[in-house]
Amino acid sequence: METNLFTTPASAAANTAATGGTPAANGAKGSESQEMFTKLLVAQIQNQDPLSPSDPSQFVQQLTQLSQTEALQNLASLTSNNASVLQSMQVLGLGAQVGSEVMTSATSVQLDGAKVNGAVTLGANSSKTTLVLTGADGVAHELAMGPFAAGSTPFSIDPTAMGLPAGNYKMQVVTSSGENPPVDIAGRLNSVRLGSNGSIVLNIANVGEVAPSAITAFNGKSNSTAVAAAGAATSTL
């Protein structure tokens, strides 16, 4: 009777179990997989047909396949560990920036009566540029920004002057060239946290929760934030 180690249900179950768990558990399961492979290989040799023995090259091929499988498992485990370390470093790095003023790519803005600064980046000159703010009620409010040259140009939204109540507003920039340019909103980085799926979530004033990829610039901490941080450090001495 001739069997194939890599087609038996017991072997498939052993290989599946060896791919899960923590790195330490994976190492223990890897040793169990090697021991199981040895037992199955011996059983395969003992139960082969004496009149039609298996080709020794088949055993060598199975040993090679086992080594390749273990190498791939170790590589997958190492890649996962490295990704976790990089994510932790990113969280720590972003956490150190809490309190900083950042620019965030956004399609909506949260207004509460205070002025909000932003920037629009054009790929071509626009003789007439208008920022359209649409509230939850569906009413559109236009802010004429005048002619803009190609490149990044700052602007400011004054909710009081425009008579806009507090709330969330969708943004769209209408240009004479017909392009739909990206809009960046300035705001304070309030917090950094890990989402339920393990992703990093940033809370930005005037914008809300965004992914780290939405950040387009770090403008540093404001004087008031720096003074407050210095005062807190002094009080702990």
**Domain with 200 in it:** 100-235
For residues 51-73, average pLDDT:
71
91 and 104 inside one domain: no
pLDDT at 7 (0 to 100) = 45
For residues 50-56, average pLDDT:
64
Question: In this predicted model, what pLDDT tens digit does every residue of 77-91 receive, in sequence order?
Answer: 777 777 666 766 777
Domain final residue pick, 68, 95, 122: 95
pLDDT at 131 (0 to 100) = 96
Alpha helices in 123-214 (DSSP H): 159-162
- 170 or 195: which leads in pLDDT: 170
33 and 142 inside one domain: no
For residues 195-216, average pLDDT:
90
Residue 188 pLDDT exceeds 80:
yes
Domain final residue pick, 95, 112, 146: 95
pLDDT at 224 (0 to 100) = 53
pTM above 0.95, yes or no: no
Give ∠ CA 110-115-120 in degrees, rounded to 5: 75
DSSP state of 43: H
Residue 1 lies in a domain: no
pLDDT at 200 (0 to 100) = 87
pLDDT category of residue 29 using cuts at 50, 70 and 90: low
Gyration radius of the chain over CA positions: 30
For residues 147-163, average pLDDT:
94
Residue 128 lies in a domain: yes
Which range (6-15, 22-31, 118-127, 145-154) has the least confidence?
Answer: 6-15
Amino acid at 107: T
Nearest to 135 by CA among 159, 110, 170, 163: 170
pLDDT at 237 (0 to 100) = 41
How many domains does one find in the chain?
Answer: 2
pLDDT at 79 (0 to 100) = 78
111 and 66 inside one domain: no
Residue 168 lies in a domain: yes
DSSP state of 33: H
pLDDT category of residue 1 using cuts at 50, 70 and 90: very low
pLDDT category of residue 123 using cuts at 50, 70 and 90: very high
91 and 131 inside one domain: no
CA 89 – CA 95 distance, rounded (Å): 10
Domain final residue pick, 45, 63, 95: 95
Neighbours of 109 (CB within 10 A): 23
